[in-house]
Structure formats: C-alpha cells, structure tokens
Amino acid sequence: MNSISPRTLLVRGMLAGLFAGVAAFLVAYLLGESKVDAAIAIEEAASAGHDHGEEMAPVSRALQATGGLATGTLLYGVALGGIAALVFCYALGRIGRFGPRATAVLVSTGLFVTVNLVPFLKYPANPPAVGDPDTVVKRTTLFILMIALSVLLGSGALILGRRLAPSFGNWNASVVAGLAFVVAVGIAYATLPAVNEVPADFPATLIWQFRLTTLAIQTVMWASFGLAFGYLAERSLAPSPAPKEAVQPTS
C-alpha cells in the first residue's frame, strides 16, 4: 500500500464525519424532534399552574430544531470522525489482516459500542422535563465516567485478544476477549450508582420512543462514518498502478 500521512487520513476522517453528521441530523430531525416537542408540551402543561411570568427564550424552538440541531450534529460528527481516523491509523494492520474498508467498519463498530452503546445501556438518554436540575452535574459525571470505563475495558479486551491469539487462535481469542469485556462491563454496571429520576406520571411510551430514537441517531452516524471513511481510506491507501512500460518503436 502507498505510504500516506496520518494528516491525510485525518482530513478524510473529518469529511466522512461531516457526511455522517448530515445523516444523523436527518434522523434526529425526522424522528427525534417530535418526541422533544411532546416532552416540552408535557413540561409546559405541568408548570401552567405556576405564575412565573412570561419568559422569552433566547433562541426560538424553531431555530433550535433546525439550525441549532444541524450545527451541533455536524460539529459532533466532524470531531468524532477525526478521532476515529486517528484510531484507524493505529488499528490498520494491528487487529488482523483486514483491508482499509474492513478496518474502518471494525473501528467504527468498536467505537459505537464503547462510546455510545455501553454507556447508553447504563445511563439512557431522557427527554426534556425528565431529571432533577440539581443533579445534572452528578448525572453528567457518571455518564462520562461510564464512557471512560467502557473505552478502557474495550482497549483491554483488544489487548487480551491479541495476546491470546498465538496460543488459542484468532477466533477463540476473540470469543474469550469478548466475554471478558461483557463480564467487566457487568461489574461496572453493578458498581456505579443507578439514576432513575423519571416522574411517575410521565408517559412511558414517550420515554421509550425518545431513547430508541437517540440510539438510532448514534447507530446511523457510526454506520455512515464507517462506510464513508472505509471508501475514502481505501482509495487513499490503494496501491498505485504500475506505470506502463514505454513501447519501443519497431524499425
């Protein structure tokens, strides 16, 4: 394969992240905003009896659901794309005899599991009007801690699998490493405190739909990134065609 600088792959990763951000924005706008609006309506109805005076929001709800959502999602996608590209640079050729496309898909899948899925299963997202404002710092800290633990445990499982591979074979080593990761995550789930601040009268269906939509947004983002970056990385790393030999004119 051609030698290529990490900077080039970083740029391609950010471009793929931008594409993934667009895909995630479409899912968030088409599926998620209706759930947010419903939760806001419940919150406003619950506080209707309290006379707090009319407060003007600094940013309109329409702008939040369009420009604000698009800006946040695109920046998030570009940032994650850059980080994933750097992980790809390290992983290529070190996790098996996989080509650029397969490595990109494996990296994006691993990051989705460790950065999004595992923390989400412990601390799932909640719509507006759910959660005590006084515990927001605690909840944010626990969520970040779960992400850090998940990434560390995933990295440890990867190292374990590589070290066991020469003795047990790639397949058996991968199974053992995967089981070790699941057990370690289960211990982390049991150790970290639970957070359940959902009001008893809040519609369970709305919470379920909001959480599924949140998970769908992340799934679409990482799947789009893996496919797009795999294509760009393969084009960058593909061997250059050998120059054709000059044909000597016959006399």
Q: Identify whether residues 5 and 113 lie together within a single domain.
A: yes
Do the domain assignments include residue 52?
A: no
Cα distance between residue 243 and residue 241, in whole Å: 6
Q: Identify whether residues 106 and 93 lie together within a single domain.
A: yes
| DSSP-derived 3-state class of residue 56 | coil
Residue 186 neighbours by CB distance under 10 Å? 10
Report which of residues 233 and 52 the model is more confident about.
233
Flag whether pLDDT at 245 surpasses 60. no
How many alpha carbons fall within 13 Å on the CB side of residue 166? 2
Do the domain assignments include residue 125?
A: yes
Cα distance between residue 22 and residue 72, in whole Å: 11
Do the domain assignments include residue 218?
A: yes
Cα distance between residue 241 and residue 224, in whole Å: 29
Domain membership of residue 184 as a residue range: 131-197
Q: Identify whether residues 140 and 214 lie together within a single domain.
A: no
Q: Identify whether residues 68 and 167 lie together within a single domain.
A: no
| DSSP-derived 3-state class of residue 40 | helix
Residue 146 neighbours by CB distance under 10 Å? 20
Cα distance between residue 189 and residue 199, in whole Å: 23
Q: Identify whether residues 2 and 103 lie together within a single domain.
A: yes
Do the domain assignments include residue 247?
A: no
Flag whether pLDDT at 250 surpasses 80. no
Count Cβ atoms within 10 A of the Cβ of residue 107 and give its class: 0-12 exposed, 13-18 middle, 19 or more buried: buried
Q: Identify whether residues 151 and 190 lie together within a single domain.
A: yes
Number of domains present in the structure of the chain: 2
Share of the chain above pLDDT 90, in %: 53
Q: According to the model, what pLDDT value does residue 77 have?
A: 94
Flag whether pLDDT at 27 surpasses 80. yes
First to last CA, the chain: 39
Mean pLDDT of the chain: 86
Q: Identify whether residues 111 and 162 lie together within a single domain.
A: no
Q: Identify whether residues 25 and 97 lie together within a single domain.
A: yes
Structure-block tokens of residue 30: 């088409």
Cα distance between residue 208 and residue 217, in whole Å: 14
Q: Identify whether residues 27 and 138 lie together within a single domain.
A: no
Q: According to the model, what pLDDT value does residue 1 have?
A: 44
Segment 62-81, tens digit of pLDDT: 788 788 889 999 999 999 99
Report which of residues 85 and 40 the model is more confident about.
85
CA dihedral 35, 72, 69, 119 (to 10 degrees): -10
Q: Are 236 and 12 in contact (CB under 8 A)?
A: yes
Do the domain assignments include residue 245?
A: no
Flag whether pLDDT at 34 surpasses 60. yes
